[in-house]
Chain A
Amino acid sequence: MSTGTTTSAGPDRADALRPVGRPGRPPAQEYRPLLGWAVTDALTVTRRNLVGQLRQPQILVFAAIQPIMFTLLFRYVFGGAITVPGVDYVDYLMAGVFVQTVVFGGIATAVGLTEDLASGVVDRFRSLPMARSAVLTGRVLADVARNLLSITLMVAVGLAVGFRPDSVAGLLAAVGLLLLLGVAFSWYYALVGLVVGNAEAAQAAGFLVIFPLTFASSAFVPTGSMPGWLRAFADNQPITAAIDAIRALVLGQPLGEVVPVALAWIAAITVVMAALAITRYRRAR
């Protein structure tokens, strides 16, 4: 390949066009950043995704209102009729709200990814020498940042309505576990976004799975009050596992049984969904 400037027009033209294109730039301009390109590109895409979300405040506001409504609804409307032996209902409730916040919030990834596919932004990314993984990891990392924000908000809302965690350490550990759960579901939503074609379908397909998982769980009521068949499902699914572990952490209950189960679910979902999403992203070409 010849990288020399092979000019086909007169030499005097060369000046007029200076700003547009000077081919023959030596590829030496390529440099190695401190963290390597996979990380650097992922962070670049992460920032782009976060900026995009911040510029659509209406979406953020609606995303925040939903868990707040659930908190108020269950705290003040249904809460009086629900008794959970041994704990204040508000303390019981918030673990469910935290998990619901994280799990529902990830839908933004599915929607954002379908939009990027439809608008050609992903095509632009694919035509650049960037790390290919960055398109998906940039989504997941942006979700981590957004989840941290929304969890903080919901902790504040919880404290305002009477939620009292057992210890700060327990609460921080719970936040860590919630972020890991968020990562697992980000990969699920990334897969949904890649598979279904448009934003509305992504939203519907995402909720189709998440809705029954969240409500047929220990989020708002103990599973013991459910009919046997439903209880069998609710007791053995990942959302209940996550909620039980978060609850044990914030309420200072024994962790030995619930936390490993939750971590196992999170690891399994992350591995399977990430593998499927990455394969799907690679294949679409």
Chain B
Amino acid sequence: MIQVSGLRKAFGAVQALDGIDLAVAGGTVLGLLGPNGAGKTTAVRVLATLARPDAGSARVAGFDVVREPREVRRSIGLAGQFAAVDPNLTGRENLLLAGRLAHLRPPAARRRAGELLERFGLTDAGRRTAGTYSGGMRRRLDLAAALVAEPLVVFLDEPTTGLDPASRADLWSVVRELVAAGTTVLLTTQYLEEADQLADRIAVIDAGRVVAEGTPAELKSRLAATRLVVQLPTEDAVRTASARLAGIGTGVPAVDPGAQTVVLEVADGPAALTEVVRRLDAAGVAVRGLSLTEPSLDQVFLSLTSRAA
């Protein structure tokens, strides 16, 4: 339903999208996960025909976003990162406007506005101007406006940012309902938990590139390496230990001289523990402590998207 290949977009010197490839099957949810400035909004804007890519191609619902923008617009609904509601119109009028401009017949637009106000708990508020709404109500109205034309593909840019836990749970159930009805959803989020809850597949993007892609389970098993932390008494010991422990686990031992620790990422914790003890004992290095930790998903996310390296 969505195919993206080699998508690039720069703003001046900033390469917001640096060659993105994505594929989203019909009736599934793709979670686009990334930190601030990763390029999530830019990707959504290109897919929703609001921004023109510099290179690469993207098809949504079978149509090319550059060459067939009008056909794409007939197939999509967009709820942007910041609620785009008209403060001078009532909630109902906002939905009627969206319906009319989506070219629904007037009776269909009215029926749809009523249905959506009810579904989003805005039936009473629908008579007030949206300028009087709370942030969460505005977001719900914005989402409702995105769904007016019953789009095949829905883009939600950080849909739960700024929502309280109850509204967030409600939005999650809306997404699940949409998908159950066959809608394809691309949602961006900064929260791994959210992607884990909602997405069939997750693409982690950072600095305009996809740095990991897969089902939530795949990502967890592929990335959630166990960490083995060796605490040492002196900086000398840290140096010796890091030299002796090279080769255990994946990658190079990470040395933190301030905390006087050496950290290893390992696949098999207990086996690595035995090996570490054997090697350090042979080298005559005293150890202050040893621990095995399963990193949280958030740590995985941070390690994937850290720009420090």
Contact = CB atoms under 8 A, between A and B. Distances in A.
To the question of whether A and B form a pair in one complex, the answer is yes
Interface of A: 1-10, 13-14, 16-17, 19-25, 27, 29-31, 37, 41, 44-45, 48, 51-53, 55-56, 119-121, 123-130, 134, 285
Contact of B50 (A19, A30, A121, A126): A126
Counting chain B residues whose Cβ lies within 8 A of the other chain, the interface size class is 35 or more
Nearest to B119: A19
Given A19-B116, A20-B119, A30-B74, A130 B180 contact: no
B178 A21 contact: yes
26 contacts: A5-B182, A6-B26, A7-B27, A14-B180, A19-B119, A20-B181, A21-B154, A23-B183, A31-B103, A48-B97, A53-B88, A55-B88, A119-B85, A119-B87, A121-B85, A124-B78, A124-B98, A125-B101, A126-B50, A127-B48, A128-B73, A128-B98, A128-B101, A128-B102, A128-B149, A285-B49
A7 B181 contact: yes
A5 B88 contact: no
A126 B104 CA distance: 16
A3 B181 contact: no
Interface string B89-121: 100010001101111110010000001101100
Per CB-CB distance, the 6 closest pairs between chain A and chain B, nearest first, are A1-B62, A17-B177, A120-B84, A52-B88, A13-B180, A9-B180
Contacts of B51: 285
A10 B149 CA distance: 24
Contacts of B147: 20-21
Given A10-B180, A119-B85, 4 more contacts: A7-B180, A23-B150, A31-B105, A127-B49
Nearest to A48: B97
B199 interface: no
Given A20-B119, A127-B50, A48 B89 contact: yes
A56 B51 CA distance: 32
A21 B88 contact: no
B152 interface: yes
Contacts of B45: 123
B98 to A, nearest CB: 7
B174 A20 contact: yes
B27 A8 contact: yes
Interface in B209-239: none
B266 interface: no
Contact of B78 (A5, A24, A127, A130): A127
A191 to B, nearest CB: 21
Contacts of A55: 88, 129
B135 to A, nearest CB: 14
B207 interface: no
A17 B178 contact: yes
B28 interface: yes
A132 to B, nearest CB: 9
